[in-house]
């Protein structure tokens, strides 16, 4: 039964001109996650990622610790544009400029709620893309092979919410609580994909670097 570890990227560069880069802390988180994945003894793991830079960087760094090179990218694991979603919800370009993380998250929750509850087809397309990417990956794995996918919180929440039959509020909560470099585990069996764990972050819990916690949400 193939095991697929869904790895959220390390901390990106929130509040800068280019969010889509790992911070120094994010690189360290990816390294620690890679060591954890190596410890788990995944079987000849296939390592892939979405196409976003922060996802690819996470895969590359984690892969060094795992002794595995990323084999490909799949844009179906790309995150939705959270900044664009918030700005569209608030109705003004640049609305996210200068927002702190907490304020941004509140507006993102509201934007996601409208997006899902209005029946916007873009949300369903996003979910279906993530699920099809995961199903295709599972189907492609040779016997005795596992996989790691470096992706983002929204993708992980969409997959988890679908597997659990969660409500829109439930999916929003899953997205909100996602920890950088956390690992969600799915297995592929005769009855399809099943969730085993969500948002496991024990490998970063309690650790600090220069008095900065390794556990972050954004």
| Model pLDDT for residues 156-209, shown as the tens digit of each residue | 999 999 999 999 999 999 999 999 999 999 999 988 999 999 999 999 999 998
Count Cβ atoms within 10 A of the Cβ of residue 23 and give its class: 0-12 exposed, 13-18 middle, 19 or more buried: middle
CATH code of the domain in which 49 resides: 3.40.50.1240
Site of tokens 């979910």: 127
Say if 113 falls within a structural domain: no
Element (H, E) at 5: strand 3-8
Domain encompassing residue 8 = 3-79+130-213
Say if 39 falls within a structural domain: yes
- Dist CA 59 CA 7 (whole Å): 9
Q: Which distant-in-sequence residues (6+ apart) come within 8 Å of 207 by Cβ?
A: 32, 213, 214, 215
Q: What's the whole-model pTM score?
A: 0.95
199-216: per-residue pLDDT in tens? 999 999 999 988 899 999
Say if 206 falls within a structural domain: yes
Say if 107 falls within a structural domain: no
Report the number of distinct structural domains present in the chain.
1
């Amino acid at each position: 039964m193939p095991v697929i570890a869904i790895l959220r990227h390390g901390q990106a560069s929130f509040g800068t001109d280019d969010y889509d880069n790992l911070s120094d802390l994010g690189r360290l988180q990816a390294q620690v996650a890679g060591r954890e994945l190596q410890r788990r003894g995944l079987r000849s793991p296939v390592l892939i990622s979405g196409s976003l830079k922060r996802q690819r960087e996470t895969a590359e760094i984690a892969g060094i610790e795992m002794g595995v090179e990323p084999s490909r990218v799949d844009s179906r694991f790309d995150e939705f544009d959270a900044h664009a979603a918030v700005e569209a919800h608030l109705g003004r370009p640049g609305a996210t400029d200068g927002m702190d993380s907490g304020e941004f998250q509140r507006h993102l929750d509201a934007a996601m709620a409208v997006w899902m509850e209005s029946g916007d087809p873009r949300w369903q397309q996003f979910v279906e893309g993530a699920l099809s990417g995961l199903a295709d990956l599972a189907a492609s794995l040779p016997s005795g092979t596992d996989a790691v996918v470096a992706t983002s919180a929204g993708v992980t929440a969409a997959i988890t919410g679908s597997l659990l039959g969660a409500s829109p509020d439930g999916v929003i909560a899953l997205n909100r609580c996602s920890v950088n470099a956390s690992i969600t585990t799915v297995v592929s069996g005769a009855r399809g994909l099943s969730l085993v764990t969500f948002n496991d972050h024990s490998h970063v819990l309690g650790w600090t670097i220069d008095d900065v916690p390794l556990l972050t949400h954004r």
